[in-house]
Structure 1
């Protein structure tokens, strides 16, 4: 099993007294502790460090850890320039990039992003899939591309990623349509279903779609985006994460936990919850730490490292 962490790139996690440049040291410490990956979020609605800029900074000070996006919003960027940026990060990191992508959510967490970026909200999923197809064509060295939204007759030589064909691309989302699209065309799946059973059911849908498309179902990386707070007990953890949810979403924990995965409580309780998701098929856990300042984030990172060791102990 791989276990990684999200960098707390949102301003709510490092202000008022924090310095965002400390995030680079945070990433280094995650690698020292043996975590498999460092992921970053993407948004224009809350102040945060731009994700590809953050990964570029982290690439130069780490050696082994996977660098991931969770989830990047490709249709908000010019696709050819984004392909060049991603290829450059993959090249400079020695092939350590993993790109999880998404198309945003209806309502106040999605449509305003498209308005700010001057990109139509309609048919965003088709636009996302085509953008990913274009990236892969550019990374292969194709000289032309013709789709519904993008068409190029003569593509000049592009930056070549470290890995032939470019970095793996995962999809976030757990709707029936997202499961089918993941199985048919993506390299991994990064959802956050609120129950292990929901994860197991979704993974079965992904694998069925992969098999139906003539792909190896085992070639799709089963990942999980999960919120974690390790504390003296569940109630103390819930109090802190409730404040975290309000700062990030303007919603209480009781609402957010209806749609997202959470593991809260003592180290033993957190390990047990994560273990249930592992039993449901998750093989790459990406943990968002529930803390509202950098010192607390660092403390949670150290606590998670101990839980990680417990999870990785051989059974029996």
Structure 2
């Protein structure tokens, strides 16, 4: 059972007086508090510390925690350059990297990013899968790659990652097509369904797809991305969550919790809510603390950390 924390790398989560360099200490505190992984987001929605830059800063100042993306948007980067950066990160961290990838979403969460990146929106899922296949080929020492979308000949020797074959690559998403693709070719699954029942059903589909592809179903890590707010005052917690949802997504809490996993309440209630996902099969929880301001976020991180022994025991 792994329990990680999403670092607040976007300035929508900061107070005006916060110094982003404090994120280094935030990450160190998280590792000392018992979290087994540190994840960062990747987006153009609002100004934020670039994901791979943040992980590169964390690699030499942490010891054992997994360093991950949740989720990296590969279309924002040139495919071969991204493979080089990820291999370098895996080397610098001693093999502690996990790369969750996604293709973006319609509306303000995706299509405008493709235009800025000069990448076509059409066939975005095929492009994502081919990009991951290209990375794996380069990490294994291939000198060329011929896909339907990406073709490269005479590729110079690439940086080889610390981990044989490269870091694990997970997929975010819970559509039927995403479930099938996860089982077929990815090393892990990191969705955020609001209903634990939907998580259990999706995981069964992922494992069936893995078995149908001749893979061991248990080789696909079952992870969960979940927004968490620990607050003994239920009304205050809901207000704080609503402020967080509006600051981060420009939508009220009532809308956010219809599309993403959100768990709030007292420590006991949060533990119970997360335990439902554990019972549904989740084995790596990536918890996003819901607060605005690094001090308040640090307080939430410590409250979540208090639940780690109880969650692992469950």
Provide the rounded CA distance (Å) in 2 between the counterparts of 1:19 and 1:13: 12
Q: How far did 1:233 drift?
A: 3.0
Q: Which residue is equivalent to 2:305? A: 305
Q: Deviations for 1:67-96, whole angstroms, at most 9, x for unmatched residues?
A: 000000012210000000000000000000
Q: Which residue is equivalent to 2:60? A: 60
Deviates more, 1:150-159 or 1:280-289: 150-159
Q: Which residue is equivalent to 1:78? A: 78
Provide the rounded CA distance (Å) in 1 between the counterparts of 2:118 and 2:15: 30
Contact in 2 for aligned 1:235/1:265 (Cα 8 Å)? no
Provide the rounded CA distance (Å) in 2 between the counterparts of 1:212 and 1:21: 46
Q: Deviations for 1:99-149, whole angstroms, at most 9, x for unmatched residues?
A: 000000111211111111111111100000000000000000011110122
Is 1:16 the counterpart of 2:23? The answer is: no
Q: Which residue is equivalent to 2:103? A: 103
Q: How far did 1:15 drift?
A: 2.9
Contact in 1 for aligned 2:223/2:284 (Cα 8 Å)? yes
Provide the rounded CA distance (Å) in 2 between the counterparts of 1:152 and 1:113: 24
Q: Which residue is equivalent to 1:271? A: 271
Structure 1 stretches (4+) deviating beyond 6 angstroms?
none
Q: Deviations for 1:215-272, whole angstroms, at most 9, x for unmatched residues?
A: 1000000000000000013322111010100011110010010010011010000000
SS of 1:258's partner is helix
| Structure 2 gaps, min length 5 | none
Q: Deviations for 1:153-176, whole angstroms, at most 9, x for unmatched residues?
A: 211111010011100000000000
Contact in 2 for aligned 1:74/1:131 (Cα 8 Å)? yes
Q: Which residue is equivalent to 2:3? A: 3
Provide the rounded CA distance (Å) in 2 between the counterparts of 1:108 and 1:8: 20
Deviates more, 1:272-281 or 1:107-116: 107-116
Aligned residues: 314
Provide the rounded CA distance (Å) in 1 between the counterparts of 2:126 and 2:75: 10
Deviates more, 1:304-313 or 1:219-228: 304-313
Cα RMSD of the aligned pairs, angstroms, is 0.8
SS of 2:307's partner is helix
Is 1:210 the counterpart of 2:210? The answer is: yes
Provide the rounded CA distance (Å) in 1 between the counterparts of 2:202 and 2:274: 17
Q: Which residue is equivalent to 1:120? A: 120
Q: Which residue is equivalent to 1:170? A: 170
Is 1:32 the counterpart of 2:32? The answer is: yes
Contact in 2 for aligned 1:231/1:266 (Cα 8 Å)? yes
Contact in 2 for aligned 1:3/1:35 (Cα 8 Å)? yes
Contact in 1 for aligned 2:228/2:287 (Cα 8 Å)? yes
